[in-house]
Amino acid sequence: MMIRRLAMVGLVAALWGDTLPAEAQLSTNLESWMRRIHSGEYGAGRGGRGGRWIENGRAYTTIERGNLVRYDTATGERSVLMTAEQLTPPGFERPLTPVDSDSHARRLLFSTNPRPTMIRKTAYDYWVLDTLDDTWRKLGGKNATNGLLYATLSPDNTRAAYIRDNNIYVEDLRTGRIRQLTSDGSPMIINGTSDWVNEEEFYLREAFAWSPDSRHIAYLQFDQSGVPEFALINYTDSLYPEITKYPYPKVGQTNSAVRAGIVSASGGRTRWARIPGNPRDIYIPRIGWADADHVILQQMDRPQHTNNIWLVEARTGRARLMYQDRDETWVDLNRNFIWVGTSGGSGKWEQRLIYHSERDGWRHAYAISRDGDALLITTGNFDMVSIAGIDEAGGWLYYIASPENATQRYLYRSRLDGTGAPERITPRDMPGTHSYDISPDGRWAFHSWSRFDRPPVSDLVSLPDHKVVRVFEDNAQLREKVAAVLRGRAELLQVDVGDGVTLDGWLIRPTDFDPDQKYPLIVYVYGEPASTTVNDSWGGTGRLFLAALADEGYLIASFDNRGTPAPRGRAWRKAIYGAVGVISSKEQAAAVRALAKERPYVDLDRVGVYGWSGGGSMTLNLMFRFPELYKVGVAGAPVPDQLLYDSIYQERYSGMLEEHADGYKAGSPITHAEGLQGKLLIIHGTGDDNVHFQGTQRLINRLIALNKQFYFMEYPNRRHGISGTHIDTLRYGFFLQHLPPGGRER
């Protein structure tokens, strides 16, 4: 058996079959675009926020030439709060940027000198500036040579808490005295931060929180003992291989035990929260404070069918169930604890938690009382995408939604007491995707707006009239350059794939497109529950390179199948439960056929597909399941066997293995490898700590056993994200070689 491999020097075929050039060959057009993009000529488009809100929204701060500058929100009056010289610690050549730029704080926190300490963790040197006497203090004392994790100032601005060697420390900012609050931290016991899988899937990094009165710290502890370890092997950097092991729970394997504790910031024993459930079979993805006396936390069961909100007495550890959300598939994480005061329609003021749930078939916001009463805030048959801000004094919840077009995003608001109809704030003559950073008083917002073929404009707007107060960046030059490339060639569209299902998609055509000819189609795919690809928003320089590829004589398209997290309702998103990869691959193939039926210029004899991570898995599924349709595929960092991926992600969407074994098998590309007929390139980094190289190795073995020929490129020690000229040349050169470009007569 001889596998056609792609050597590091280029696209080199092994021994037989269609030989490849000694070096990957791109056209002059693509080489030119690659140089222009990697040189930064087009950039990514400046935009986003104008700064940090201070003084409840009356002002905001930003860094200009190293100076900390204050702007009056209403008038734009500018003043320098601190000069670059003041923000430069002794011995430093450049000023630092404060982590928190509250102009009224006596002490400011800064981070510098980032360096990796373990899988997925980055340590920093932290400095604190006392603004009253312009003195600097480096946190951690003499033992901080390896850096600290997640330093955070106490609410009263007198102390800092941080993680070192998996233990929690508190440092007095006046005296420099350091107290070690936990002492059992080790490679297996993690205090105040999380293990690999909770960080990856629940975005849980800083797993501790100061109490509002600065007297206590609530934190999570993860016990990784018993979690199977995975090994990454580095063959290149030493005479003998270097092996890095870390706990990584795969589907059905042992998870870390997790528990929540409360400890005095002055030291002493930890009081553990008394919540039910086996610590090995629950998740605590968030912890915080409801008030100075009560900790609040989210607790999920391992299948993620329930999300319990617990209130825990800090003094006793006694827990009371405040609210439970349930779903027969999975419940979503609420990333933040947001408390508001509301009458709840009763006229009596009470504190309520803003919580989002799909309990009525749509993702809506609820105000949850401490007694568990759920007041519906957002109403209607549409999804709330995310919370944008709260005007508590005015009684409004601001949020992002798009009831009419799932590819776009707009600002809406609803009454906190649930009365009245939702109000759209974004003007209707501004179609596309909008994002907002709303001031604490709800009167202003940093606003950004872009479209599929239009780089962003960022400005300051007043609310609720959405009047532009000042423009931060209009990207005028970039928009002109992009328009010259994409104008008239790109469109957002919909395709009917049958059974009453319509998918969103987009299409980019060649500049010299002739509708009377037939063109090959390359599909960019993802298709899993973690992300969408069809968004009416600016995609940066990657979009320009796809346009350059289209100019070789290709149609470039993408589709969002059911199961992707589009705002199209619970039923849409959760249709794939227990069978990830099955429905989605069928709908992706149906979308290509539907597009060709509507657009006769699509050549169904020349269809290619490319994707990364979950998109790499989808590429394999499409090549194996629908070989009559997909002739060329490039699968990057795929998961060929779902049993090999992490417990939290895969069990959330595929169910528990003992109940859904058939779905795991049916959805895994390796199950269908015998279907391969076309030209397939598989790419993977051997140092990928997320989607392990192990899966690709298993697939290679399977393809060898089936006597299936394919191309393969490994990138030594690269992690999950791989970028640069080499890989661009590799994948686009592969399409040029095996999927003949250009229009043909019908």
pTM over the 0.75 mark: yes
Find out whether 422 and 380 touch, Cβ atoms under 8 Å.
yes
Closest C-alpha to 599, from 543, 521, 524, 547: 521
Cα distance between residue 526 and residue 585, in whole Å = 10
Mean pLDDT of 119-134: 91
Q: Assess if residue 642 is contained within a domain.
A: yes
Residue 716 in any domain: the answer is: yes
Angle between helices 725-738 and 541-550 (to 10 degrees): 30
At residue 14, the pLDDT reads 34
- pLDDT attached to residue 349: 56
| Element of type H or E holding 598 | helix 582-598
Please state whether beta strands 517-524 and 602-612 pair in parallel, antiparallel, or not at all (unpaired). Answer: parallel
The CATH number given to whatever domain includes residue 500 is 3.40.50.1820
Average pLDDT, the chain: 93
Which alpha helices (DSSP H) does 680-741 contain, by range?
A: 693-705, 725-738
User: How much of the chain exceeds pLDDT 70, in percent?
Assistant: 94
Separation of alpha carbons 356 and 363, rounded Å: 6
* Residue 642 pLDDT exceeds 80: yes
Residue 103 confidence class, pLDDT cut points 50, 70, 90: low
> CA distances (Å), 459 to each of 470, 476, 539, in order?
6, 13, 19
pLDDT tens column, 478-504 = 999 999 999 999 999 999 999 999 999
Of all residues in the chain, the percent with pLDDT exceeding 90 is 88
Q: How many domains in the chain?
A: 1
At 574 the three-state DSSP class reads coil
Answer yes or no: is 703 within a domain: yes
pLDDT of residue 746: 83
Structure tokens, 107:
């002490």
Taking only the tens place, the pLDDT of each residue in 459-477 is 999 999 999 999 999 999 9
Q: In the predicted model, what is the mean pLDDT of residues 301-313?
A: 98
Give the structural domain span for 518: 28-41+490-745
Write down the pLDDT at residue 38: 80
Q: Report CA dihedral (732, 737, 742, 746) to the nearest 10 degrees.
A: -130
Q: Is residue 477 part of a domain?
A: no
559-570 pLDDT, tens digit per residue, is 999 999 999 999
Tokens of 437: 């950073």
Residue 728: inside a domain, yes or no?
yes
What is residue 713's predicted lDDT score, i.e. its pLDDT? 97
- Residue 105: the pLDDT is 80
Do the strands 744-745 and 107-118 form a parallel or antiparallel pair, or are they unpaired? unpaired
Please check whether residue 516 lies inside any domain of the structure.
Answer: yes
Residue 632 domain flag: yes
User: Is 99's pLDDT higher than 60?
Assistant: yes
Residues 503-551: pLDDT tens digits? 999 999 999 999 999 999 999 999 999 999 999 999 998 899 999 999 9
Is the model's pLDDT at 375 over the cut of 90?
yes
Using DSSP, state whether 565 is helix, strand or coil. coil
Q: What tokens were used for 258?
A: 């997790």
pLDDT for the residue 4: 41
Residue 416 domain flag: no
Indicate whether 12 pLDDT > 60. no
The full DSSP string for 434-473 is EEEEE-TTSSEEEEEEEETTEEEEEEEEETTT--EEEEEE
